[in-house]
Structure 1
Amino acid sequence: MAFFTIALFIGLFQFFDQWVFGFFEKNAPELIDQYWLIIILAAVLVYISIFEAYYKTQLNVVIPTFMREFLLKFLSGLLALFYFLNFISFEWFLRYTVATYAISLLLLIVILMFKGKMKFNFSIFQLEKPFIKEMMKYMVFIMAGAVGSVIVLRVDQLMVTGYLGTGINAIYVIAFFMGTVIEIPKRSISQMSDAIIANAFENERLDEIKKIYKQSSINQMILGSFVFILVVINLDNIYAIMPKGDEYSSGKWVVIIIGLSKLLDMAFGVNSEIIISSKHYKSNIYFVLILATLTVVLNMLMIPVYGLVGAALATFVSLFLFNLIKMIYIYYKLQFQPFSIHTLSTLFLSALCFFILTIVPQFSNPIINGAYLSMLTVIIFGLLMLFFKPSKEITKIIQPIRDKFNL
């Protein structure tokens, strides 16, 4: 299926490439020269997704998360350093970047082989036709939803490039990824909850799904709020340390708005996972289509008027409406929702922590100030969570610290 998907992508790309590249021809002509790299990267990413899904079915999210969140970022950072030191050209920087994804894929396969989990068979041909038909129908809906999700995640960057050029997009992309750091806790929680929710639906344990829904909401909100405060309170320090920080600091509000949009997305819990794992999975494609339409239209309206901030605002509004629609749908179909009184208390405690951090005295040295503010964030946020206990799970994690210091 991956082979046919890649072949389909190449065919469609060949058909639409003039139209696609025409959008970038004026402000980003250099993108057109990397046509073949796009094809190779797309193929590698397809197989990475397959093996990540295979790890997830074994409830093993540590290895794929390590590859995606640490190894790839470390290698990219290393390549960026080599480029800025003039060890490699920009063209080879792009080639080596694609190679890092290929290395990640190879490691995922090798680890499975060493664990004895890498087995091939053709048992699909022994399955009954009704099951294959149902499986194919499910795959088409899920694939369509996934394609829409990818478009939504990337379309703002592409439209910023088309409207404002690659130079401005560089500022936007860096700010965007600084904002998306906030959702790192969500990725691990979502990957682990997928299989558990699917199993609960299979065995009709709706109470368990309701519990997971609420737990994912409050725990993701707490973890996301902590990372959001940590990033935003240190923005000036980060830009002060960063090369050409004065230029990139124009993306400060992008970091804040994208961070808030990701925090909002986390607060709504595992709503997508619940819909995809339920018998109502077909409806997910309609939600994604609504989100894709909202994102494209809002970007078209806001980027020409508000520039970078307009793209960030478009993402915020789209994600809010997307999650609100899904929450209403789940409540209508299953009669449960993710929020509780602890949602309000977490909002208040996070706001209180941020307010305290804005009024404390600070150092002029950005490195010392960053370390100082980060330490204060950990202490103040941790103490507030310990004493007010909005989440039982978070309390269990930090309780040993309280016992050690007799707090």
Structure 2
Amino acid sequence: MGIVLNQSLKNTVITYIGFAIGAINTLYMYVQFLGDTYYGLVGYVLSAANIMMPLMAFGVHNTLVKYFNEYKTEEEKSSFLTFVLLLPLLLIVPFSLVGYFGYHQIATLLSKENPIVYDYIWQIPVIGLCMGYFEIFYAWVKVHLQSVLGNFIKEVFLRILVSISLFAVYFDWITPVEFVYSLMGIYFFSMLLMKIYAYKVRFPSFKFRLPTNSKAIITYSLFIILTGGIANLFLEIDKFMLNNYVKIENIAYYSVAIFIATVIAVPSRAMHQITYPITAKLMSENKHDELNDLYKKTSITLQIVGGLIFLGILVNINQLYLLLPKEYSGGIFVVFTIGLSKYFDLILGNNNAIIFNSKYYKTVLFLGVLLVTLTVILNMIFIPLYGLKGTAFATLLSITLYSLSKLLFVVKRMKLFPFTSKTITAFGVLIGCFLLFYFWDFSFHPIINIVLKSIFVSFIYLFLSYKLKLSDDINVVMENVLRKIGF
């Protein structure tokens, strides 16, 4: 866990810096500078682009990680890297033709409830393409265990560019319409930087020759398109479908709530950058016991770190929403429900990495298809009835069922289990701290209230986690920090 912990900590710090910048963008600058209508439009365009990303990448960002270590010679590796760079063209070219000749029909269908969307539909595949190739070049450096700079570009640098563009709107240097167009440039520039860094880590020697296992690569990539598409659908389908039922301003309200809840998943995203290639390596070497140990360690570590974030959000949520316009207050229920689903997914550790690198990855696709279908049906039922609360409930139910099915699959098929008695103890610490801190507030300004309560709840939560020795890795980090500050 040495390299995992080292790079995971760096990635966690970088990701939270990015989320801090994103919080300013999401909770203030978008709301105050851009307005609800264009904020909702941005949320819709980016959600749709995220849904398209696995298609535009042809799933090769996961394929690259899975198969790279199987090649032994430099010539084989060069042929493989060239192949995965060109493979996405199999979908990009036909998609481009369909989009070009069928734009009016597609845009008309997607803009029935909100006509403003019509002129921006074409941006969705462009941004999705940039996202897709960013992930390919990011995977390129991850297989060399160099994930930190890529994470910085993705989580921090991109958000800084967005902040600059929002300030440009505020100072009337550009219009809100021009800001929406600027997003394409931001994602393209980030992809270009990632490409330059990937080539610096390993410059490709282009070998236009099919790898010996090209059939297996294409088959795996096709399944990753579907499984990755399913994962992205779970994250983004709610905002995409809201556009068809409610005014676009509601997507802005929902986006704020989703952003707050998504902060819980940051530790998982940070640790995943480095555990994914290590998981692939352990599985390729059939090291079952080491894999099971890694599974348990990632589970309890993410449960404790993510639990602290979840707890901090819940006990401060009412004060946080006092800082926003009252139109956004309906998102409190969304934060609770989506946050709960994120927490459950968090404690599964490196579950996804295990599945995607196993021989059973095709089977899980069937479960994903069923649950995406369920998600769409639930959204169609609950959004017209309950609006934002309806889609939040539909998302909670769908993601929880999907996470549970993946857990049961890994336990039954692969004889790996992430939980121990410490899992229950950690959950008890979370519930106890929530009951202790949720029902009271200081009589100060909301920001002061949030800061003070966060300090108290963090101290109690971390103290209990340390004394109960819930995670050896977290205890080592805390001891190092205490030693450096003189305790």
> With structure 2 as the length reference, what TM-score do the two structures score?
0.77
Tell me, what secondary structure is at the counterpart of 1:215? helix
Give distance in 2, aligned partners of 1:359 and 1:401: 31
Question: 1:196 — aligned with what?
Answer: 278
Which of 150, 161, 168 is 1:75 aligned to? Answer: 161
Give distance in 2, aligned partners of 1:164 and 1:103: 33
Residues 1:388 and 2:468 are matched in the alignment: yes
Tell me, what secondary structure is at the counterpart of 1:70? helix
Conserved? CA contact 1:156–1:299, under 8 Å: yes
Which of 429, 434, 449 is 1:354 aligned to? Answer: 434
Question: 2:73 — aligned with what?
Answer: none
Give distance in 1, aligned partners of 2:104 and 2:372: 22
Give distance in 2, aligned partners of 1:198 and 1:190: 12
Question: 1:246 — aligned with what?
Answer: 326
Conserved? CA contact 1:299–1:314, under 8 Å: yes
Do the aligned partners of residues 281 and 361 (structure 1) sit closer, same or farther apart at CA in structure 2, a change above 3 Å counting?
Answer: closer
Question: 2:228 — aligned with what?
Answer: 146
Conserved? CA contact 2:469–2:475, under 8 Å: yes
Residue 14 (structure 1) shift:
5.2
Please tell me the residue identity of whatever aligns with 1:140.
L
Question: 1:98 — aligned with what?
Answer: 184
Residue 220 (structure 1) shift:
1.2
Do the aligned partners of residues 226 and 22 (structure 1) sit closer, same or farther apart at CA in structure 2, a change above 3 Å counting?
Answer: same
Conserved? CA contact 1:386–1:399, under 8 Å: no
Give distance in 2, aligned partners of 1:234 and 1:304: 30
Give distance in 2, aligned partners of 1:377 and 1:68: 30
Question: 1:233 — aligned with what?
Answer: 315
Q: Deviations over 1:117-162 (max 9, x none)?
A: 222311533x33xx12222222221222222222232111011121
Question: 2:54 — aligned with what?
Answer: none
Conserved? CA contact 1:353–1:377, under 8 Å: yes
Question: 1:120 — aligned with what?
Answer: 205
Question: 2:51 — aligned with what?
Answer: none
Conserved? CA contact 1:268–1:338, under 8 Å: yes
Tell me, what secondary structure is at the counterpart of 1:163? coil
Residues 1:2 and 2:88 are matched in the alignment: yes
Residue 285 (structure 1) shift:
1.9
Question: 1:44 — aligned with what?
Answer: 130
Tell me, what secondary structure is at the counterpart of 2:197? helix
Paired residues in the alignment total 401
> With structure 1 as the length reference, what TM-score do the two structures score?
0.92
Residues 1:313 and 2:393 are matched in the alignment: yes
Conserved? CA contact 2:169–2:179, under 8 Å: yes
Residue 59 (structure 1) shift:
1.4
Alignment of 1:215-294 (within 5 A): 215-242=297-324, 245-294=325-374
Give distance in 2, aligned partners of 1:16 and 1:180: 35
Give distance in 2, aligned partners of 1:312 and 1:361: 27
Please tell me the residue identity of whatever aligns with 1:292.
V
Tell me, what secondary structure is at the counterpart of 2:242? helix
- Structure 2 unaligned regions, length at least 5: 1-86
Moved more, 14-23 or 321-330: 14-23
Moved more, 258-267 or 30-39: 30-39
Conserved? CA contact 1:290–1:322, under 8 Å: no
Residue 16 (structure 1) shift:
6.6
Give distance in 1, aligned partners of 2:101 and 2:295: 43
Q: Over aligned residues, Cα RMSD in angstroms?
A: 2.1
- Structure 1 unaligned regions, length at least 5: none
Give distance in 1, aligned partners of 2:264 and 2:101: 38
Residue 26 (structure 1) shift:
3.1
Give distance in 1, aligned partners of 2:385 and 2:170: 34
Conserved? CA contact 1:276–1:284, under 8 Å: no
Question: 1:304 — aligned with what?
Answer: 384
Please tell me the residue identity of whatever aligns with 2:202.
K
Give distance in 1, aligned partners of 2:363 and 2:100: 31
Do the aligned partners of residues 270 and 372 (structure 1) sit closer, same or farther apart at CA in structure 2, a change above 3 Å counting?
Answer: same
Please tell me the residue identity of whatever aligns with 2:204.
K
Question: 2:238 — aligned with what?
Answer: 156
Moved more, 6-15 or 338-347: 6-15
Do the aligned partners of residues 23 and 254 (structure 1) sit closer, same or farther apart at CA in structure 2, a change above 3 Å counting?
Answer: farther
Residue 291 (structure 1) shift:
2.5
Residue 93 (structure 1) shift:
0.5
Residues 1:323 and 2:403 are matched in the alignment: yes
Conserved? CA contact 2:141–2:201, under 8 Å: no
Give distance in 2, aligned partners of 1:138 and 1:330: 19
Tell me, what secondary structure is at the counterpart of 2:438? helix
Q: Deviations over 1:275-301 (max 9, x none)?
A: 110111212322321231121111111
Larger RCO (CA within 8 A; separation ≥ 6): 2
Do the aligned partners of residues 26 and 340 (structure 1) sit closer, same or farther apart at CA in structure 2, a change above 3 Å counting?
Answer: same
